[in-house]
Structure 1
């Protein structure tokens, strides 16, 4: 008689379904970063710099809007805030192009770029969802030499933003 085997299989299937139903859902992580010039998290993902968890998820630097940190206030990615971590510096002109890689498009209010806490550019997307790859041309006149550009992607429908820092040498 095969009923006990069938009953055991059904019990395992039901228990598995119940387990997945009761498991808490994961929280959404940030879903985009500057890929060129390589942001700090892009350098981690490419193995240019030896980093922690950010190496596996460069798109996941998310935190509350308004922060001025490369990690977005996320302690798991604290190495991104360390200016002496060995980041590769990219030569750029005073009119620099920043290429984004988006892995999950969120409605966007604004994109902001900062140097030394001063906003140097802002782009208003009025709630639009960005394409998978796009660029912003940012005027960096008034700055020269080695600088860290902080980019902040402000989501339209949450209190969060995504963060990326790029180390540049402005010529």
Structure 2
């Protein structure tokens, strides 16, 4: 190998790691969120409510299973936990279909819906891989008025779940 060629190879090998470290990372191409009625992250993505990074990654609210926060314990998306942010409230009936949009279809153990820390509904997928959109119809029984619903997608083969909060007025 001639001297110029060796120098070019050495420079390339030395610069490549620096380029990888300094290049900006693209948005994550994972996972899922409630698109209808519009969850807080769906409102951010649509520009309905001004938000930070979650606007670009509504599908990325992931955290350990068992949490009760809208952000899934992810500090990057902490604004989702701010109940005073001006979230739009969707009027719904006593039974409502919730549509999840999935960008990575993880095998699923359960889908859960909570109001005020109380589980209202659970759908067991027994480890199946879901389609790109998933719909559950939840019956709220005697619960009425303005409520914050926490929807949780529990992944079957990891310790994580995906979280979405939806602001609704049941019976309103």
TM-score range, shorter chain: 0.7 to 0.9
TM-score after normalising by structure 1: 0.88
Structure-2 change in CA distance of 1:102 and 1:16 (3 Å): farther
TM-score after normalising by structure 2: 0.87
Structure 2: gaps spanning 5 or more residues: none
> Cα RMSD between the aligned structures?
2.5
- Residue by residue over 1:36-79, the C-alpha shift from the partner in whole angstroms, topping out at 9 and shown as x without a partner, is 11100110111111111111111111111111111111121111
Corresponding residue for 2:161? 161
In structure 2, how many angstroms separate the alpha carbons of the residues matched to 1:56 and 1:21?
A: 22
In structure 2, how many angstroms separate the alpha carbons of the residues matched to 1:160 and 1:29?
A: 16
In structure 1, how many angstroms separate the alpha carbons of the residues matched to 2:170 and 2:81?
A: 20
| Contact 1:92–1:169, Cα closer than 8 Å, also in 2 | yes
In structure 2, how many angstroms separate the alpha carbons of the residues matched to 1:84 and 1:78?
A: 13
1:6 CA displacement: 2.5
1:29 CA displacement: 8.1
In structure 1, how many angstroms separate the alpha carbons of the residues matched to 2:132 and 2:96?
A: 20
Structure 1: gaps spanning 5 or more residues: none
Corresponding residue for 1:62? 62
Corresponding residue for 1:136? 136
Corresponding residue pairs, total = 167
